Amino acid sequence: MDNAFAQDLCAALSTRPRAISPKYFYDEAGSLLFDRICDLPEYYPTRTELGILERNAQDIAAHMGPRAEIVEFGAGALRKVRILLDAMDRPARYLPIDISGEHLSRAASALQQDYPGLDVQPVVADYTQRLLLPAPLPGAGQRVGFFPGSTIGNFTPDEALHFLQVAAQVLRGGALLIGADLVKDPAVLHAAYNDSQGVTAAFNLNLLARANRELSARFVLEQFAHSAFYNAPRQRIEMHLVSKRRQMVSVGGQCFEFEEGETLHTENSHKFTIDSLRSLAVRAGFRPGPVWTDPDNLFSVHWLHAPL
Ligand code: AVI
């Protein structure tokens, strides 16, 4: 099997407990479902972070200083970077990094149209690995990384540390602006990942639908249930797909058995305290700066100084 999704899915189904990386949610259909999640009434992170950025745009822009470059890890959230660009003093360059070239060039050309004077340079790369970025523009200000959405929460703690270490290297002398969802009332978290319209359930089940589309797998979607719950000791939402009965599934010609109630663990979404995010950043070499939150303390946006 030369396909990473096929390899990782078969490996996940062959081990116990069964778990697969959440990165496989994001094919075309999954990305559209995620966009719908962001607009759900129960899913507070997106609108809360947007509100924090809007209310504090001038202050954040002052920290960035004139002629700054923004390096965005992932090219999803154009709505968010626009808030920064609109407040900044003559932004010099925007470097969105994404593993999907198609998604990236769409995002980059949309932004270029609206900001004709801005130098937009997409970088196709896996930002969870080592990163090589173009040299700073002559006369440019500081290089500021932007990692919104609490995507850091979808990494394992080791991956999160590694990501921050890579970011600290490529942002040397600059800073990182990062969004982190906060630990809160489990009922609020539960509602955000168990929405009444069933969009999060469809997003979770799309992993199996994708396997059917791409890997000639034969998952019967009706035989799996979406499950999302807050694991309080580990401060994370866990998403699973639960087999509703004993069944056999086939992926790429290989057969796997599910017992009734057995799960495939599809995602962790870690929640942070302000201190836990700052301590992690310190371990990666950053020096914590200001933190902006909302009046209900649902979400946080951190300014982290990169090492020199
Ligand atoms: C992308 N990421 C930060 C989302 C989250 O909340 O962990 C993905 C998501 N999963 C279910 N709903 C949203």
Could you tell me if the CB of 48 is within 6 A of ligand 1?
no
Cα–Cα distance for residue pair 271/180, rounded to 1 Å? 7
* Closest Cα to atom 6 of ligand 1: 269
Pairing of strands 247-251, 175-181: unpaired
* Closest Cα to atom 4 of ligand 1: 151
Could you tell me if the CB of 60 is within 6 A of ligand 1?
no
Cα–Cα distance for residue pair 263/260, rounded to 1 Å? 9
Is a pLDDT exceeding 70 seen at residue 154?
Answer: yes
Is a pLDDT exceeding 60 seen at residue 101?
Answer: yes
Cα of 267 from ligand 1 centre, angstroms = 8
CB 148 within 8 A of CB 179: yes
- Which atom of ligand 1 is the closest one to the Cα of 237? 7
Cα–Cα distance for residue pair 88/75, rounded to 1 Å? 19
Q: The tokens of 174 are what?
A: 């600059």
Cα–Cα distance for residue pair 95/74, rounded to 1 Å? 10
Could you tell me if the CB of 151 is within 6 A of ligand 1?
yes
Cα–Cα distance for residue pair 222/243, rounded to 1 Å? 9
Of 98 and 285, the one with more pLDDT: 285
Cα of 269 from ligand 1 centre, angstroms = 6
Predicted local confidence at residue 78, as pLDDT: 82
Predicted local confidence at residue 129, as pLDDT: 81
CB 173 within 8 A of CB 136: no
For a pocket test of ligand 1, which of 239, 269, 270, 299 has the largest count of ligand atoms closer than 8 A to its C-beta?
Answer: 269
Cα of 38 from ligand 1 centre, angstroms = 9
Cα of 24 from ligand 1 centre, angstroms = 13
Predicted local confidence at residue 131, as pLDDT: 86
The dihedrals phi and psi of 120, each to the nearest 5 degrees, come to -105, 120
- Which atom of ligand 1 is the closest one to the Cα of 192? 12
Is a pLDDT exceeding 60 seen at residue 1?
Answer: no
Helix (H) or strand (E) holding 221: none
Could you tell me if the CB of 69 is within 6 A of ligand 1?
no
Confidence of residue 102 (pLDDT cuts 50, 70, 90): confident
* Closest Cα to atom 3 of ligand 1: 151
pTM (two decimals): 0.96
DSSP class of residue 182? B
Q: The tokens of 222 are what?
A: 């009706």
Please state the length of the chain: 308
Q: What is the mean pLDDT of residues 206-229?
A: 97
**For all residues of the chain together, what is the average pLDDT?**
95
Cα–Cα distance for residue pair 77/83, rounded to 1 Å? 11
Could you tell me if the CB of 37 is within 6 A of ligand 1?
yes
* Closest Cα to atom 5 of ligand 1: 269
Could you tell me if the CB of 266 is within 6 A of ligand 1?
no
Could you tell me if the CB of 150 is within 6 A of ligand 1?
yes
pLDDT tens digits for range 22-77:
999 999 999 999 999 999 999 999 999 999 999 999 999 999 999 999 999 987 66
Cα–Cα distance for residue pair 119/92, rounded to 1 Å? 7
Proportion of the chain above pLDDT 90, given as a percent:
88
Please name which of 294, 184, 303, 275 lies closest in space to residue 232, comparing C-alpha atoms.
184
- Which atom of ligand 1 is the closest one to the Cα of 149? 3
Alpha helices in 56-215 (DSSP H): 57-64, 78-87, 101-114, 157-170, 186-192, 199-215
